[in-house]
Amino acid sequence: MYETIKYEVENNIGYVTINRPKAMNALNTQVLDELHTVFTEIESDDNVKAVIVTGEGKAFVAGADIAQMKELTAVEGRAMMTKGHNVMNLMESIEKPIIAAVNGFALGGGCELAMACDFRIASEKAKFGQPEVNLGIIPGFGGTQRLPRLVGKGMGKYLIMTADMIDAQEAARIGLVEKVVAPEELMDTCKALAEKIMSKAPLAIATAKTVINNGYNLDMKTASALEIEAFTGPFSSEDKIEGMSAFLEKRDANFQKK
């Protein structure tokens, strides 16, 4: 079904792998279209509870496909950037947790793809950067917006305007990634994280992701009202009864499958 990505589901975890190793998994329009299709499928598949995104070979995603972009007109370039934004926004809007397993280079569009995930776990070999100003352009898949929100306005400007590439440890120091692990531990670490989150109340996890994303840039008063409104959903669920009963009875909770 897919030519530029691999997709499989195992034990309720969806594994999405960008599969263009000869091109360092660069994002062209076909990859973006296939990513949009697979995440649309994931969104409606009740069998998938969490997602891990990674790249085939030694790169996560080394950027957008410059060979393709060089030939695009401004109108065509805008259309490609719109495709990219549609994919990243879809990933953020899906209620299921998405983990980026950053195995190597995550540059340009690759860094932007990782930032659209909920968590970024990096191999010690991973490298991050937004090198677009070296090419006469700016980040176009959300980098000017997501990077400053993750690392702060000053550091976001610094990385975008200098086009500096940083290693995994520096990415962790500034808050771009949540954890750095040995390369051979990367997928197991991501799988363990997915399983840990899947063991929690599914409605609560979905609601928490939505409220955090929707409230992040609101003023505190408005965001607090958003949280209060969202709180009533999980609070009136069977999972709330089960979770609190399990706590009081000192046993593991048996949450309903969402």
Residues 227-241 pLDDT 10s: 999 999 999 999 999
Burial (CB count within 10 angstroms: exposed 0-12, middle 13-18, buried 19+), residue 217: exposed
- List active site positions: 112, 132
Examine the domain organization and report whether 184 and 61 are in the same domain: yes
Is residue 258 assigned to a domain?
no
Examine the domain organization and report whether 208 and 95 are in the same domain: no
pLDDT value of residue 227: 95
Q: How far apart are CA 10 and CA 102, in angstroms?
A: 20
Examine the domain organization and report whether 141 and 15 are in the same domain: yes
Answer for the pair 35, 16: CB distance below 8 angstroms, yes or no: yes
Examine the domain organization and report whether 159 and 224 are in the same domain: no
Q: What letters, b where the CB count within 10 A reaches 16 and e where it falls short, cover 92-107?
A: bebebbbbbbbbbbbb
Examine the domain organization and report whether 34 and 85 are in the same domain: yes
Residues 189-225 pLDDT 10s: 999 999 999 999 999 999 999 999 999 989 999 999 9
pLDDT value of residue 258: 46
Sheet holding 98-102, edge to edge: 5-10, 13-18, 50-55, 98-102, 119-123, 179-181
Examine the domain organization and report whether 225 and 162 are in the same domain: no
Q: Taking residues 164-193, report their average pLDDT.
A: 98
pLDDT value of residue 197: 97
Examine the domain organization and report whether 192 and 209 are in the same domain: no
Q: How far apart are CA 150 and CA 199, in angstroms?
A: 27
Residues 136-161 pLDDT 10s: 999 999 999 999 999 999 999 999 99
CATH number at residue 28: 3.90.226.10
Examine the domain organization and report whether 124 and 112 are in the same domain: yes
Is residue 163 assigned to a domain?
yes
Residues 245-254 pLDDT 10s: 999 999 999 9
pLDDT above 50: residue 49? yes
Is residue 255 assigned to a domain?
no
Is residue 254 assigned to a domain?
no
Helices assigned H by DSSP within 103-219: 109-115, 143-151, 153-162, 168-173, 186-198, 202-215
Percent with pLDDT over 70 in the chain: 99
pLDDT value of residue 180: 98
pLDDT above 90: residue 64? no
How many domains in the chain?
Answer: 2
Task: Identify the domain boundary among 162, 183, 198.
Answer: 198
CATH number at residue 237: 1.10.12.10
DSSP type of residue 222: H
Examine the domain organization and report whether 235 and 138 are in the same domain: no
Residues 93-125 pLDDT 10s: 999 999 999 999 999 999 999 999 999 999 999
pLDDT value of residue 1: 83
Examine the domain organization and report whether 132 and 206 are in the same domain: no
Among residues 104, 92, 33, 101, which one has the least CA distance to residue 65?
Answer: 33
Whole domain around residue 237: which residue ranges?
Answer: 202-248
Res. 257 pLDDT band, cuts 50 70 90: low
Look at the chain and count its residues.
Answer: 258
Examine the domain organization and report whether 178 and 69 are in the same domain: yes
Is residue 256 assigned to a domain?
no
Q: How far apart are CA 185 and CA 30, in angstroms?
A: 31
Q: Taking residues 34-51, report their average pLDDT.
A: 97
Examine the domain organization and report whether 135 and 233 are in the same domain: no
